[in-house]
Structure 1
């Protein structure tokens, strides 16, 4: 995130950035597991990424993306598409694909690269733009959505 951005002064964005930081750390662990040839650890890291990414994506897609799509429809469509691609690969850690398909592990590493690029797009473009676009009511909606995400996966 750029030093000049006031995004971290906005609690809803600060939470998303904190989750991005966690995703970057987990991605580094996953890459290291891949380099070691440790499929079990790679699967575990991908499962932990999914745990963070699930509620995070709900907040973005239900709260942040709708008002931003009015101003930036193509960019939001790209971000949504990237969410689907990332989720599809991560699903392989849970559904057994990771253990049966030898192409899954290299694909997971490609997905981690996509995830990192996706995070940069959000933090350098989407989040600063949201400061100018979202109303107070829309920021309140993000907070309410986040409060409801604690029910996901329960």
Structure 2
């Protein structure tokens, strides 16, 4: 999590960072389940991660990402982050389907993705966006659910 620029004090950014922490914490159960190899436990752990990840990525994409994408210098970066969301979803599906050895790659990709947001996009958004932009982000971002802030 970025702690150097203060971007976490922007409500939606602070929320997204807190959700990142909850998602990473949920991967602990997924790691244990994959190591144990029980398909039912893996499925339950995948569901737990997905229950946090899917609302989070949707909220990022329809709110902050939509507004930031309008600035040409961020378009390619936003597109790559959205592609990573898709990759993470596909990896979770494959893990649930029995590819438990894919967990290490999933965790690496997830942590790398979160780092790119927390230490790249979020601080950049604090500089690049202005009052009306943030009002639109707040208006278009779906509210947090208890699951995404757990």
TM-score (normalizing by structure 2): 0.82
Alpha carbons 1:63, 1:142 under 8 Å: kept: yes
Cα shift at 1:107: 2.5
138-147 or 83-92, which moves further after superposition? Answer: 138-147
After superposition, what is the alpha-carbon deviation per residue over 1:92-142, rounded to whole angstroms, capped at 9, x for unaligned?
A: 57xxx62xxx4x222244222211110011001011001011222222233
Task: Please show how residues 129-144 of structure 1 align to structure 2 within 5 Å.
Answer: 129-144=124-139
Is 1:83 paired with 2:78? Answer: no
Structure 2 residue aligned with 1:53: 53
Q: State the shift of 1:55 in Å.
A: 1.6
Change (3 A) 1:63 1:16: same
Consecutive unaligned residues of structure 2, counting only runs of 5 or more, are 146-150
Matched with 2:101 is 106
- TM-score normalised to the size of structure 1? 0.80
Give yes or no for contact 2:63–2:136 (8 Å, CA) kept in 1.
yes
Deviating beyond 6 angstroms after TM superposition, the runs of 4 or more aligned structure 1 residues are none
Unpaired segments of 5 or more residues in structure 1?
Answer: none
Ranked by relative contact order (alpha carbons within 8 Å, sequence separation 6 or more), the top structure is: 2
Residue 119 in 1 paired to residue 114 in 2? yes
Distance in 1, Cα, partners of 2:104 & 2:41: 13
Q: Counterpart in 2 of 1:68? A: 68
Structure 2 counterpart SS, 1:3: coil
Q: Does the 8 Å contact 1:63/1:138 carry over to 2?
A: no
Matched, 1:7 2:2: no
Partners of 1:92 and 1:118 lie apart in 2 by 19
